Structure 1
Amino acid sequence: MSRAETMRAVVAHGYGGPEVLRIIDVAIPEPGPGQVRIKVEAAAVNPVDLVTRSGALVEAGLMAPREITGIGWDVAGTIDQLGPDIDGFTVGQTAIGLRDLLDVSLGAYADYVVLDATAAAPAPAGLSAVEAATLPLNGLTAAQSLDLLGLSEGDTLLVAGATGAVGGFAVELAAQQGLRVIAQGADSEFLHSIGAHWTLPRDADLAAEARRLVPGGVHAALDTAGIGIRALAAVRNRGSFVTVVGGAAPIPLRGITVHHEWIHGDGQALARLAQQKLTTRVADTLPLRAAAEAHTRLAAGRLPGRLVLTP
């Protein structure tokens, strides 16, 4: 096989720390029916990549153990090949997409990635590939969480962990939907700039402070930080609650409806997000060979945005 027919990809050999990540040369994948191939320009690094690499998802029963595991969910780049039966995309079109399958041998940390066309969308106008790569996983998680809550204009929403990637998009999307948002996080100036009505510091007593601002409790809470029962206590009776953190769903006390958001690729929803004005945050860009460094930096925490790999 000639080098022209191969590509680089970052995979995890077994499970463990960043040292299990390897760059390998593999055959460039071919798109099948209903699929597109994207030449990767940017791939965001997310917390799910760390727990995939560590083996935590295998231990939790969310994926089967495998010798080699592909890493990376978010991608932005250019469509370079279409599989059969594809409408709505053209070769040369810039696109974003989400690789939402855990148990695979190749992920988005690669020179090319093949996705179902239903998990891809045209790239947002006015954003670089690096900025656009931060949108799919976190933006869709926020949007799908808000859909689960089923709120109406004027309702109140508490977002715990609002300065994180999912939390930030959730605050912004909720404000655009006419919700009054209490955003809990460290950067109150940023949170107000993206639409928060009120802000609370990271160490706030959520129930007490939220109920001081909204007597009787908020209509709903979105927990992006795994706070669980402490965020549930801020919700009024028969309200609604969503967590995006595995294992953090509290018991549905007081008639509150509790959901766990399990992300799924949705090209139509991603296309709608791409057309909205959302604030993307990039902490740094690194080459593909620095994937292990990116994982180390993300694990250390407190980054002002996403790390993005640029093959």
Structure 2
Amino acid sequence: MRAVTYDSYASDDSRLKVGDVPDPKVGPGQVLIEVRAAGVNPVDWKVMAGGLDGMMDAVFPVIPGWDVAGVVRALGPDTPEFAVGDEVMSYARKDVVGAGTFAQYVAVSADDVAHKPRSFGWNEAGGLPLAGMTAQRALDRLEIGQGDVLLVHAAAGGVGGFAVQIGRDRGARVIGTASERNHDYLRGLGAEPVAYGDGLQERVRELAPGGVTAVADCVGGQLDTTLAVLASGGRHVSTADPAADEHGGHWIWVRPDGAKLADLARLADRGALKSEVSGTFALEETGAAFDASRSGHTRGKLVITP
């Protein structure tokens, strides 16, 4: 099969190449997925730069990518949950960095796979798993519900956009930070937009004079603002800042879980969750996709389409 690989850690895209690699083996309880779309996430290029080397082993050459949507082409022994031809998706992170999703095929544990939302195209489904489940886990940890006032930092990004929608579905009032060019987009998702940058604390306090009851930081570096606008007894999490743990909050790290991903699929199919895709890239354009992700100005998701 054809796949994107890199043979050593690199802080730029110089080690990326596209070529033929062996097809994946399909073990017991696994699903072989023909990849139709694979979401690009900041963790992909951070892993390539060695950012998780202290946490996860890597087997080179590495195929990047942890998101996938595609068609089941083969099943390992004892995998009754799925059938050949099923349209599925997965947050396909494994215990070792190696056989990722920027390829024509990927083998994934059936426990980590869910059926694709009927209402989503391939690109929308390919961009959902990691970002959608990170938002889902963040709001689960915050115990968001009716009566909450939720502030989402970087609300127009991949994780933030899903957090806005999940929060609204759970009955919260949602305030979202974004550049002014994305304010109409946030209004369409159901959030009250505020511009980030100098004066953010004051702008949030104008909308929520008593403070917000919960904060989901989806970008990092927002701890001072978060603590300044939280109401007494408020809760906060960050998907990008471990320091949240030291200040009464939680650093969120999502786990592969097919059942939780299926919950998001049901949310999408009842019209409560949309997946914004702002760019698609061929395997040969992975470097350009990483550059776009590194810019930090992407609305919604970027997707690789093998």
The TM-score normalised by the length of structure 1 is 0.90
Secondary structure (helix, strand or coil) at the match of 2:244 reads coil
The equivalent residue for 1:3 is none
User: Structure 1 stretch 64-73 or stretch 74-83: which is displaced more?
Assistant: 64-73
Q: Are 1:206 and 1:234, in contact at CA under 8 Å, matched by a contact in 2?
A: no
Q: 2:283 aligns with which of 278, 281, 288?
A: 288
Aligned residues: 298
Q: Are 1:100 and 1:263, in contact at CA under 8 Å, matched by a contact in 2?
A: no
Q: 2:265 aligns with which of 264, 274, 292?
A: 274
Structure-1 separation of matches of 2:233 and 2:84: 49
Q: Are 1:9 and 1:106, in contact at CA under 8 Å, matched by a contact in 2?
A: no
Q: Are 1:232 and 1:250, in contact at CA under 8 Å, matched by a contact in 2?
A: no
Letter in 1 for 2:172: L
Structure-2 separation of matches of 1:229 and 1:11: 39
Structure-2 separation of matches of 1:113 and 1:47: 20
Structure-1 separation of matches of 2:55 and 2:117: 31
2:213 paired with 1:219: yes
Q: Are 2:152 and 2:217, in contact at CA under 8 Å, matched by a contact in 1?
A: yes
Residues 293 and 77 from structure 1, CA distance in 2 versus in 1: closer, same or farther, beyond 3 angstroms?
same
Residues 53 and 177 from structure 1, CA distance in 2 versus in 1: closer, same or farther, beyond 3 angstroms?
same
Q: 1:182 aligns with which of 168, 172, 175?
A: 175
Letter in 1 for 2:259: Q
- Aligned structure 1 segments of 4 or more residues deviating by more than 4 angstroms: none
Q: How does 1:102-113 map to 2 (within 5 A)?
A: 103-113=96-106
Q: 1:160 aligns with which of 142, 148, 153?
A: 153
Q: How does 1:83-232 map to 2 (within 5 A)?
A: 83-101=76-94, 103-186=96-179, 187-196=182-191, 198-203=192-197, 205-226=199-220, 227-232=222-227
Residues 305 and 158 from structure 1, CA distance in 2 versus in 1: closer, same or farther, beyond 3 angstroms?
closer
Structure-1 separation of matches of 2:98 and 2:66: 13
Q: How does 1:27-46 map to 2 (within 5 A)?
A: 27-46=22-41
Secondary structure (helix, strand or coil) at the match of 1:241 reads strand
Q: 2:254 aligns with which of 239, 263, 273?
A: 263
Residues 219 and 301 from structure 1, CA distance in 2 versus in 1: closer, same or farther, beyond 3 angstroms?
closer
Q: Are 1:13 and 1:22, in contact at CA under 8 Å, matched by a contact in 2?
A: no
Letter in 2 for 1:57: L
Letter in 2 for 1:268: A
Shift of 1:213: 2.3
The equivalent residue for 2:295 is 300
Structure-2 separation of matches of 1:250 and 1:104: 26
Q: How does 1:52-71 map to 2 (within 5 A)?
A: 52-58=47-53, 61-64=54-57, 66-71=59-64
Shift of 1:223: 0.3
Structure 1: gaps of 5 or more residues = 1-6
Structure-1 separation of matches of 2:51 and 2:130: 19
Shift of 1:102: 6.0
Q: Are 1:34 and 1:117, in contact at CA under 8 Å, matched by a contact in 2?
A: yes
Shift of 1:308: 1.4
Structure-2 separation of matches of 1:122 and 1:44: 16
Secondary structure (helix, strand or coil) at the match of 2:232 reads strand
Structure-2 separation of matches of 1:205 and 1:195: 23
- CA deviation string 1:118-150 (max 9, x = no partner): 111001112211111010010000001000001
Secondary structure (helix, strand or coil) at the match of 1:113 reads strand
Secondary structure (helix, strand or coil) at the match of 2:249 reads strand
Structure-1 separation of matches of 2:245 and 2:198: 19
Shift of 1:210: 2.5
Letter in 2 for 1:122: H
The equivalent residue for 2:228 is 233
- CA deviation string 1:147-166 (max 9, x = no partner): 00012212111101101110
- CA deviation string 1:7-62 (max 9, x = no partner): 1121221111111112232221122122111000111111111101112222xx22
Q: Are 2:187 and 2:193, in contact at CA under 8 Å, matched by a contact in 1?
A: yes
Structure 2: gaps of 5 or more residues = none
Q: Are 1:69 and 1:103, in contact at CA under 8 Å, matched by a contact in 2?
A: no
The equivalent residue for 1:78 is 71
Shift of 1:246: 4.1
The TM-score normalised by the length of structure 2 is 0.92
Q: Are 2:145 and 2:167, in contact at CA under 8 Å, matched by a contact in 1?
A: no
Structure-2 separation of matches of 1:35 and 1:295: 29
